[in-house]
Structure 1
Amino acid sequence: MNSPTPAAGALDARDHRVFDAVRELMSTQGMQLSMEAVAQQAGCSKQTLYSRYGSKQELLRRVMQRHLCRATAGLRAMDGEDLRGCLLQFAIDHLEHFNETQVIQARRLIAAEAAQFPQEAQALYRDGAGALALHLAEWIATRIERGLLRHDDPHFMAELLLSMIAGLDFEKQRFHTPHRDDAVVRRRWAEFSVDSFLQAFAVHPAVPEPHSNQLRSFS
């Protein structure tokens, strides 16, 4: 598996300004954002953007790479032996990111425009959610080799875990329905998801007892 692992140190202040501009514009313009708008938002010239990134597609790919780096920081922060600690931090980071106002708005716009811009939508999936699933599968495969997780298909396991973490919350956001907009409630759901995953796949599942029904009752 060759999932990308972008290095945060490879970015400078100008990159961060540009990437932040892209994130903000995607929440208001979706996939119709232009390099001219990005340049204006970031305070640079359009020629600078093309010289540095080559194309809008490459710029969007780099933005997705930065997100991947941040999203997988919890998996890289520890040595990987603390399965619950690594996966819980990953789950919390994942839920926090997708509860940011800009991200919620961008997801709604992109979903609405996907049929109009199918190639762009597929590229965003490949470089975003697809790359995240590949990276998580690679991490899981390594823990299987170490004897920490039960031998199974790491791709299936990664997709299952991501689905468990997301629950119905992202769908609720998309349809403007009350969701887990509180950090405490999101952490409880992250704990429940990770603990359930480890109960199924950990070789020696040293996880807490199942959560009570009270903790399972979320908005």
Structure 2
Amino acid sequence: MKKLMFLLVLTIQFGSAQSLFEKAEKLFDQKKYADAEKLFESYLESNPNHKQTIEYLGDIAGINKEWDNAIKYYKKLKELDSKSANYWYKYGGAMGMKAKDVNKFKALGMISDIEAAFLKAAKLDSKHIDTRWALVMFYIELPAIVGGSEAKAQKYATELMNLSIVDGFLAKGYIDVYFKRYIKAEINYIKAHEVGNSKTTYEKLYDLYLNKMKDKAKANKLKKEFEK
């Protein structure tokens, strides 16, 4: 009888905990992040190593641009599961965003850790698209004197091409836009749009025409064709 009562209590407690997590998850999906955060924090108190909860809390911190908190949660995740490419990617991403908010001297000290996190993620998962996008942007935006390199960016753009033709052309177009090679960028963005024909590919090409090439005729023509 005692054993039965113990199992009954345990089942009720487990069901209650699950319900708390599910409620928090539902609030997150509804973009009610403040309410979701409170429930996730409460759930985490009794389940300190629950990876999904920690990830949600890291994501909420990122949404709120609380980079130190995001870094703390993602760091814990990669310590709990060092073989997850996604955790390393999110950890590197949070550090990268923090680096943009701090002074240049402090940001320079973060570069090697950011790069290492992204490279680790890329090594762990050869098909992780977001990581390769992060590396393209990282190497392009970073000054050459501290490790920036178009050659490295192109390497990961090529890897993207092998994983997703649309992402590959968009990445190569992104690199061309950064260096103001707008004719080449147009070729890559047109190819991306021909394959993907999505809101993203349209917006990239439209922005190139309107804001970079200052060609309203091409921008308007593209808009009419996309809205048909």
**Quick check: which one's helix share is greater?**
2
Which one has more relative contact order, counting CA pairs under 8 Å at least 6 apart?
1
Structure number with greater Rg is 2
